[in-house]
Amino acid sequence: MVTPGDPAPAFTVPMAGGDGYDDVSERSLSELLSDGPIVLAFVPGAFTSGCTDELQTIDASMDRFRRRNCRVFGVSVDLPFAQNIWMERAGFDIPLLSDWNHELIHAYDVVYPDMYGSIESAERSVFVIDRDGIVRYRWMRGDENPDFDVFVEDLIAEIDALD
């Protein structure tokens, strides 16, 4: 299990940028950390209401993350092409990392083994990783989704604590 103080598991995955169906490029953890700390927001699946609500709420506060030199990336097991369409339809601009081969959900120990009774997906979870690649914060959903507005406030407080 990845916990605060651990090095973040390295990866290289496709990233959906949101500018059209085929806006896909590869990104590594080290590239993502080159500009400062990051937030990885693992979500169970594209086009679902809870995941859409979470990423729209985070997106509405992106200026606050940017002022802290922190970037946010969503992570799901969906293909990047589907992620691009989801971003367009839902109206958020958070780049999405595609864990289509399920390596990240296993490396970060956030496997939701039985989504809709049939597929392996990501547990709703969030990691804050500092610029040195160390996990500084880990959150996993309990029984219910949190109030996402309150959750974003708590997440920003965790980022402020990095300084």
Q: What amino acid is encoded at 87 in this protein?
A: M
By the 8 A CB rule, do 99 and 66 touch? no
Q: Which DSSP state fits 9?
A: P
Question: pTM of the entire structure?
Answer: 0.92
pLDDT in tens, the chain (163 residues): 899 999 999 999 999 988 887 888 899 999 999 999 999 999 988 888 888 899 999 999 999 999 999 999 999 999 999 999 999 999 999 999 999 999 999 999 999 876 555 678 898 999 999 999 999 999 988 778 778 888 899 999 999 988 7
102: its two tokens: 């399920």
Task: Compute the distance between CA of residue 15 and CA of residue 13 in angstroms, rounded to an integer.
Answer: 6
Report the Cα 31 to chain-centroid distance in Å. Answer: 15
What is the pLDDT at residue 116?
A: 54
Edge-to-edge strands of the sheet including 38-42? 24-28, 12-16, 96-98, 71-76, 38-42, 125-129, 135-140
pLDDT of residue 50: 82
List, by residue number, the catalytic residues: 51
Residue 72 has a pLDDT of 96
The SS3 assignment for 149 reads helix
The residues facing 3 across adjacent strands are none
Q: Give the pLDDT score at 75.
A: 97
Domains and CATH numbers, the chain: 12-160 (3.40.30.10)
